[in-house]
Amino acid sequence: PRRHATARAAAAAQISCWEVPVLTTIRVWFTKTGEASYISLLDLQRVMQRALKRSGLPVWYTLGFNPHIYMTFAAPLSLGQESLAETVDFKSEAEGYDWDAAAPALSACLPPGIKVTRIAPAVDAGDIACAAYEVRYAEKDAQAACAAWEAYNAAPAAEVVKEGKRGKKKTVDLKAHLPEVQLMRKNGGLVVCMRLPAGSVLNVNPVLVLGWLEQQHGLPAASGDILRTGIYTRNGEKFS
């Protein structure tokens, strides 16, 4: 009927008048250390939402009845793990904004242990493939830790059971992804350096390695503090 055709034409005209915003993805690099390492991903999303609002940065909100800031975190960490290489992306309509100067303003709105190191428009750095970690042991645990990790390096295999989504379990040989680790003595303690898969297809949590050491060599997993130092793409470059 003509009535319906007129209504469709009016709706199409209204849609054509809407201005589609030109959005830029902005990336925030931040550290998460100390007590902040026990903030879960869900709570971290709330923390960042509130901090972005309070900072006054030109953040784009989704449309609809419940506007909110659309955020994406890269390779979220497990609870209790510290990191020097965390990122979160959000959208902005602002053009020519001085994002470098915005880092202190956003840091001031965040809790202790979370510090913004850089804000800039995101670039397509490629898919995340792996992450670099340090596992640090105090002086009292250094000798036992050194012996256990040397045993790991010498082991032909290190099989663990990895639990995936929906409770599915599979056996993973850690040596296939981490053939060897580097050991460094520092201030009387021990620092273990490693790289593990951290992509969307395969992700190996360093806790699995510490769990294998505890099961096979009696080194308590809780004696090692995990620190993520970097995230890398498939071509070996730092995620930026």
The tens digit of pLDDT for each residue in 48-96 reads 999 999 999 999 998 888 888 999 999 989 999 999 999 999 999 998 8
d(CA 201, CA 185): 34
Residue 6 has pLDDT above 80, yes or no: no
DSSP characters over 104-120: HHHHTTS-TTEEEEEEE
Q: Which of 206, 196, 79 is nearest to 131 (CA)?
A: 196
Q: Note whether 30 and 64 are within 8 A (CB).
A: no
Q: Considering only residues 60 and 5, tell me which one the structure prediction assigns the higher pLDDT.
A: 60
Q: Which residues of 52-75 are buried (b: 16+ CB within 10 A; e: fewer)?
A: beebebebbeeeeeeeebebeebb
Q: Which of 207, 72, 185, 183 is nearest to 131 (CA)?
A: 207
Q: Would you state the pLDDT for residue 5?
A: 54
Q: Would you state the pLDDT for residue 12?
A: 52
d(CA 97, CA 91): 13
Residue 180 has pLDDT above 60, yes or no: yes
Q: Would you state the pLDDT for residue 7?
A: 53
Q: Would you state the pLDDT for residue 167?
A: 72
The tens digit of pLDDT for each residue in 91-106 reads 999 988 999 899 999 9
Task: Kindly report the average pLDDT of the chain as a whole number.
Answer: 90
The tens digit of pLDDT for each residue in 97-139 reads 999 899 999 999 999 999 999 999 998 767 899 999 999 999 9
